[in-house]
Amino acid sequence: ETGVTQSPTHLIKTRGQQVTLRCSSQSGHNTVSWYQQALGQGPQFIFQYYREEENGRGNFPPRFSGLQFPNYSSELNVNALELDDSALYLCASSLGVSSGEQFFGPGTRLTVL
Amino acid sequence: DAKTTQPNSMESNEEEPVHLPCNHSTISGTDYIHWYRQLPSQGPEYVIHGLTSNVNNRMASLAIAEDRKSSTLILHRATLRDAAVYYCILRDPGGSQGNLIFGKGTKLSVKP
């Protein structure tokens, strides 16, 4: 059974650019959640996708958008990057939206200069 | 969502038991208590969860107070690999969103 994988592992962008982060969910999981973790803080919920539809969103602006594909993999897109977007971006998969057991990937470290 | 309160940091000696406390005085009747941990340079990892009764699994035990306003995660014999940030999270499975709300957690240090 393959766990949650994320790519790339590290990324450096400049302010104003756009970025796409990718996540492959654990086999059989139909729900993907994205979190942003600033240094020294706990992860903050961005949004969740269930069967290709957005199922909830945290307090993030519209320039944070996402997609889920028929194979349940997912993308996080961030437009017009700001310095404060520098963080670890975590993807978590689960079997259904009600499951409290989410399986996290190792994250993508984004640095915005 | 109800909030949790945890100590910022704790220290333990290797091979000794560790009791990590969590206060959640505003917990609702449908909130489950979840514990996750995050090892350095890794994503969070599920540890255990429970509703009312104490729970045991291969990683840890969860002791829940009778009034459910507090809980304790118990690591029976701490190892160096248990050094991590431990998060106590309340979650209602019937809620409209499936997200986990993380606080700052407790940073556990384990001394050899």
Dump pLDDT digits (tens) for B40-71: 989 999 999 999 999 999 999 999 999 999 99
Nearest to A111 by CA among A21, A5, A22, A1: A21
- Burial B96-109, CB ≥16 within 10 A → b, else e: ebbbbbbeebbbbe
Q: Which two tokens stand for residue A44?
A: 């903050």
Q: How far is CA A19 from CA A12, A37, A86, in A?
A: 10, 17, 12
For chain B, say whether A5 makes contact (Cβ under 8 Å).
no
pLDDT at B52: 93
Q: How far is CA B86 from CA A4, A11, A44, A91, B108, in A?
A: 20, 27, 15, 18, 7
What confidence tier does B99 reach under pLDDT thresholds 50, 70, 90?
Answer: confident
The burial class, CB within 10 Å (0-12 / 13-18 / 19+), for A65 is middle
| Chain A environment of B101 (Cβ under 8 Å) | 45
Distance from the Cα of B61 to chain A's closest Cα (Å) equals 16
Residue reference for tokens 């002791």: B63
Residue B90 CA to residue B86 CA, distance in Å, equals 13
Distance from the Cα of A57 to chain B's closest Cα (Å) equals 8
| Spatial contact of A102 and B100, defined as CB atoms under 8 Å apart | yes
A6-56 tens-digit pLDDT:
999 999 999 999 999 999 999 889 999 999 999 999 999 999 999 999 988
Closest A-chain CA to B98: A97
